[in-house]
C-alpha cells in the first residue's frame, strides 16, 4: 500500500455530490490539506439518536490497523455516525475500518499528516455537516470505553453542559500503577491548564474522550485551534473564552495493546508555551475586551505593585551586598508593602476568576431539555409548598391559640418565606 494514498470520503448519508476542501496553516504558509468527495453510497437506515440527540463519534486514527476494527465494532447502537479520520497512515487503517461493514462509517483520508488535533477538527467539521447535535471523540486505539458514552451525553441532553470530558483521576486509586513522575506531571499540567483555561473544576486535561455540542463547536474558530498534542489544552481555552459550560465525568482508562507516539521532549515545551499565551489571551478577551471586569483591574494592579516591590527589594539587596549601608526601616517597608499588597490583589483576582468558571447549568431558551425538566419539577415544588403551609398552620395554631382560619393565613405567609428560593429558581420566561 502506498503511503498517503489519494484520499476520499465514503458518505452514505449524502444525497448530492460535493467537494469539501480544507485549508490549514503550517510553517510553510497556507496549503491545501485534502479534498473530500461526498458521494451517495447506500441508505444508512433509520436514525438512532440518543435522548433526541443525533450523535456523531469522531475516531482519529494513525496506523491503527490492529485496533480500529475493534473500536468500530464496539460502538453503541445509538450512535448515528462514525467519522473515521485516517491521518495519512502508512498501514491499512482505512481498509480495516471499511472492512467492518458498518453502514454508519464515514471515512476521511488525509493526504498529509495533520496531527491528532487536525484529525479531530476535520471530524468535528464533518459532524457539523452531518447535522449532528453532539460530536464525541473516541480514539482509534480502543482505549476509550464506549460503555461510558451515555455518561458523557447525559449532561448535554439535560442542558447542564455543552462540553463534557472524561476524567481518569477521579479517585485515590486512579494513580495506582502509574510512575511517580507521570503522576507529578499530570498534576502540574492539570493545574497549569486550570489557570490558563479558567475551568478550575476540570482535571485530566489531556484526556481526549470528550463530547461537544454543535452549538459549542460553532462558538469557536475551529481553524485556529492547535492541531498537535496541545489540541485539548487549546480547545479548553477557546471554549472558556466562549463561556461554554463544561463538566468532568469519571471514566476509568482502558489500557491494552496501544502504542503511544507522544514525545515528551517536544510536547512539554509546546504545551507550556500554548498555556502561557492562552492565559493572557483569555484574560484580555474575557476580562478586558468583552467587559472590563474587576478580575483584570485587580490582576493588573496587583502585578504592578508586586513587580515594583520585588524590583525595589532586589535593588536594595544588591546595594547592601556590594558595600552599601544597611537600609532603614522605612526603606524596607517601601519594598515590602507594595509586594504584599500586590500579592493580595493577585490572590483576590484569582479567587474571582475561580468563582466565574463556566460550570453552571445552561438555563436558556435554546435548551429545551433543561426547560422540560424544570417544568416537571414545578408540581413537586407546589406540593412541597402546600405541605409547608399546612405544617406552619398547625404550629401556629398550637402555639398561639389562633383559630384554624387565622392560623392558615399566617402559615401561608410563613411557607411563602420558606419557599422563596424555590420560586426564585424558575426558568426565565417561564410563567
Burial classification of residue 46, based on how many CB atoms lie within 10 Å of its CB (0-12 exposed, 13-18 middle, 19 or more buried): exposed
Q: Is residue 226 part of a domain?
A: yes
Query: What stretches of 1-107 show up as alpha helix (H) in DSSP?
Result: 68-73, 93-99
Structural domain ending residue among the three candidates 243, 258, 288: 288
Please tell me the total count of domains within the chain: 3
Q: Could you tell me if 273 and 301 lie in one domain?
A: no
Q: Could you tell me if 61 and 112 lie in one domain?
A: yes
pTM value is: 0.72
What is d(CA 94, CA 34) in angstroms, rounded to the nearest whole number?
Answer: 15
Q: Could you tell me if 223 and 89 lie in one domain?
A: yes
Q: For position 253, what pLDDT does the model report?
A: 66
Q: Could you tell me if 16 and 73 lie in one domain?
A: yes
Q: Is residue 175 part of a domain?
A: yes
What is d(CA 89, CA 67) in angstroms, rounded to the nearest whole number?
Answer: 13
Burial classification of residue 31, based on how many CB atoms lie within 10 Å of its CB (0-12 exposed, 13-18 middle, 19 or more buried): exposed
Q: Could you tell me if 55 and 74 lie in one domain?
A: yes
Q: Is residue 388 part of a domain?
A: yes
What is d(CA 116, CA 68) in angstroms, rounded to the nearest whole number?
Answer: 15
Q: Could you tell me if 149 and 282 lie in one domain?
A: yes
Structural domain ending residue among the three candidates 288, 319, 337: 288
Q: For position 45, what pLDDT does the model report?
A: 45
Reference 88, options 132, 67, 118; nearest CA is: 118
Q: Could you tell me if 140 and 281 lie in one domain?
A: yes
What is d(CA 431, CA 428) in angstroms, rounded to the nearest whole number?
Answer: 8
Task: Write out the three cell numbers for 256.
Answer: 491494552
CB 275 within 8 A of CB 319: no
Reference 88, options 51, 54, 116; nearest CA is: 116
Query: What stretches of 322-403 show up as alpha helix (H) in DSSP?
Result: 329-355, 368-400
Structural domain ending residue among the three candidates 270, 288, 306: 288
What is the domain range of residue 153? 9-288
Going from the C-alpha of 255 to that of each of 119, 168, 252, the distances in angstroms are 22, 12, 10
CB 209 within 8 A of CB 149: no
Q: Is residue 264 part of a domain?
A: yes
Q: Could you tell me if 103 and 41 lie in one domain?
A: yes
Reference 137, options 206, 69, 200; nearest CA is: 206
Q: For position 292, what pLDDT does the model report?
A: 83
Mean pLDDT by 10 residues, the chain (431 residues): 42 36 37 43 55 94 93 94 94 92 93 92 95 95 91 94 91 71 82 93 89 95 89 94 93 61 69 92 92 91 95 90 85 92 95 83 41 39 45 48 50 44 38 36
Cβ neighbours of residue 166 under 8 Å, at least 6 residues apart?
144, 148, 152, 204, 207, 209, 210, 248, 249, 250, 251
Q: Could you tell me if 193 and 225 lie in one domain?
A: yes
Q: For position 271, what pLDDT does the model report?
A: 87
CB 335 within 8 A of CB 316: yes
Q: Could you tell me if 160 and 221 lie in one domain?
A: yes
What is d(CA 346, CA 143) in angstroms, rounded to the nearest whole number?
Answer: 41
CB 245 within 8 A of CB 362: yes
Q: For position 78, what pLDDT does the model report?
A: 93
Q: Could you tell me if 344 and 240 lie in one domain?
A: no
Going from the C-alpha of 106 to that of each of 43, 110, 369, the distances in angstroms are 13, 13, 29
Q: For position 319, what pLDDT does the model report?
A: 86
Q: Could you tell me if 321 and 420 lie in one domain?
A: no
What is d(CA 284, CA 304) in angstroms, rounded to the nearest whole number?
Answer: 16
Task: Write out the three cell numbers for 57.
Answer: 463519534
| CATH code of the domain in which 259 resides | 3.90.550.10
Task: Pick left, alpha or beta for residue 261 (phi over 0 → left; psi -120 to 50 → alpha; otherwise beta).
Answer: alpha
Amino acid at each position: 500500500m502506498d503511503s498517503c494514498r489519494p484520499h476520499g470520503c465514503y458518505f452514505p448519508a449524502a444525497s448530492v455530490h460535493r467537494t469539501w476542501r480544507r485549508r490549514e496553516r503550517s510553517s510553510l504558509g497556507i496549503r491545501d490539506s485534502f479534498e473530500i468527495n461526498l458521494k451517495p453510497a447506500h441508505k444508512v437506515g433509520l436514525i438512532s439518536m440518543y435522548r433526541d440527540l443525533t450523535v456523531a463519534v469522531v475516531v482519529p486514527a494513525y496506523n491503527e490497523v490492529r485496533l480500529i476494527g475493534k473500536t468500530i465494532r464496539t460502538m453503541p447502537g445509538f450512535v448515528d455516525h462514525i467519522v473515521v479520520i485516517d491521518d495519512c497512515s502508512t498501514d491499512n487503517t482505512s481498509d480495516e475500518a471499511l472492512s467492518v461493514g458498518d453502514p454508519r462509517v464515514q471515512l476521511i483520508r488525509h493526504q498529509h499528516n495533520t496531527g491528532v488535533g487536525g484529525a479531530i477538527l476535520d471530524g468535528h467539521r464533518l459532524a457539523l455537516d452531518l447535522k449532528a447535535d453532539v460530536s464525541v471523540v473516541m480514539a482509534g486505539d480502543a482505549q476509550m470505553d464506549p460503555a461510558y458514552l451515555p455518561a458523557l451525553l447525559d449532561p448535554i441532553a439535560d442542558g447542564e453542559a455543552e462540553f463534557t470530558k472524561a476524567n481518569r483521576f477521579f479517585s485515590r486509586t486512579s494513580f495506582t500503577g502509574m510512575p511517580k513522575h507521570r503522576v507529578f506531571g499530570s498534576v502540574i499540567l492539570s493545574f497549569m491548564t486550570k489557570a490558563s483555561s479558567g475551568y478550575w473544576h476540570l482535571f485530566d486535561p489531556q484526556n481526549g474522550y470528550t463530547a461537544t455540542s454543535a452549538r459549542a463547536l460553532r462558538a469557536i474558530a475551529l481553524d485556529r485551534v492547535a492541531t498537535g498534542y496541545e489540541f485539548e489544552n487549546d480547545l479548553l481555552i477557546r471554549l472558556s473564552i466562549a463561556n461554554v459550560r463544561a463538566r468532568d465525568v469519571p471514566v476509568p482508562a482502558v489500557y491494552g495493546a496501544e502504542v503511544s507516539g507522544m514525545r515528551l521532549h517536544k510536547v512539554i515545551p509546546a504545551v507550556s508555551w500554548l498555556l502561557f499565551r492562552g492565559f493572557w489571551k483569555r484574560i484580555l478577551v474575557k476580562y478586558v475586551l468583552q467587559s472590563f471586569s474587576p478580575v483584570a483591574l485587580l490582576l493588573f494592579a496587583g502585578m504592578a505593585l508586586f513587580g515594583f516591590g520585588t524590583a525595589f527589594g532586589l535593588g536594595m539587596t544588591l546595594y547592601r551586598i556590594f558595600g552599601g549601608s544597611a537600609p532603614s526601616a522605612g526603606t524596607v517597608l517601601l519594598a515590602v508593602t507594595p509586594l504584599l499588597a500586590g500579592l493580595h490583589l493577585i490572590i483576590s483576582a484569582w479567587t474571582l476568576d475561580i468563582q466565574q468558571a463556566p460550570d453552571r447549568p445552561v438555563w436558556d431558551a435554546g435548551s429545551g431539555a433543561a426547560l422540560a425538566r424544570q417544568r416537571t419539577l414545578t408540581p413537586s415544588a407546589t406540593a412541597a409548598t402546600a405541605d409547608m403551609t399546612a405544617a406552619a398552620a398547625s404550629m401556629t395554631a398550637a402555639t398561639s391559640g389562633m383559630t384554624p382560619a387565622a392560623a392558615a393565613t399566617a402559615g401561608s405567609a410563613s411557607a411563602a418565606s420558606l419557599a422563596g428560593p424555590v420560586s426564585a429558581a424558575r426558568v426565565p420566561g417561564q410563567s
